Amino acid sequence: MKKCEAFIIGGSAGSLDVLLRLLPRIDAAIPFPIIIVIHRKHGSDSLLTDLLSSRTKLIVKEVDEKENIVAGTVYIAPSDYHLLIERDNTFSLDYSEKINYSRPAIDVTFQTAAEVYKSNLYCLLLSGSNSDGVNGLKSVQLWGGKTLIQDPASAQVAYMPAQAKLHVKIDHILGIEDMGDFINLLA
């Protein structure tokens, strides 16, 4: 089986609830980083970090620019910046134009990660009402990574995962309750 070097989760409307249910199920000794990019209002950063870290023993932190990416940590993309993955396994931030009306854009993180981690990357797209993440998943597939979506039937807003399903070859469709086990089994 392929090794997982990074697990990236993108989500928009209706995805917070999924994360709150998923995080408690992830093993505290998970041997890869989990990177979360969700759309939200500018300025609510620490709130989200606190909320998510209350649900897990893993370290949850908002990304600092040029920070080394470390296994066993849950990273949150800061609001109002795009989050990029660098070849030397660090994060960088970018304040360029919004993409799909979003900053951070899930596409940007998926695309830059795809080139760095190639076949050792897993990207999961959750509930949401726009099509951010779809192009990102295309790149992930192109570079040999694994494409995953939340089962649209279980999503509060099905549009985003449904768009992905329509336009990209999806490797796994996961129900909310299956996500934790799936991630733990990649260890």
C-beta of 104 vs 152, nearer to another protein: 104
**What's the CA angle centered on 72, arms 120 and 15, to 5 degrees?**
80
**Closest approach of Cβ 18 to another protein, in Å?**
26
| Residues 138, 167 contacting (CB under 8 angstroms) | yes
Amino acid at 179: M
C-beta of 14 vs 145, nearer to another protein: 145
**Closest approach of Cβ 169 to another protein, in Å?**
23
Report the relative pairing of strands 82-85 and 91-94 from DSSP bridges: antiparallel
**Closest approach of Cβ 178 to another protein, in Å?**
32
Interface contacts to another protein, rule CB under 8 A = 64-66, 78, 80-81, 84-87, 92-97, 108, 111-112
| Residues 119, 95 contacting (CB under 8 angstroms) | no
Which residues participate in catalysis according to the annotation?
A: 12, 39, 132
C-beta of 112 vs 147, nearer to another protein: 112
Q: Give the phi and the psi of residue 138 in degrees, each rounded to 5.
A: -60, -45
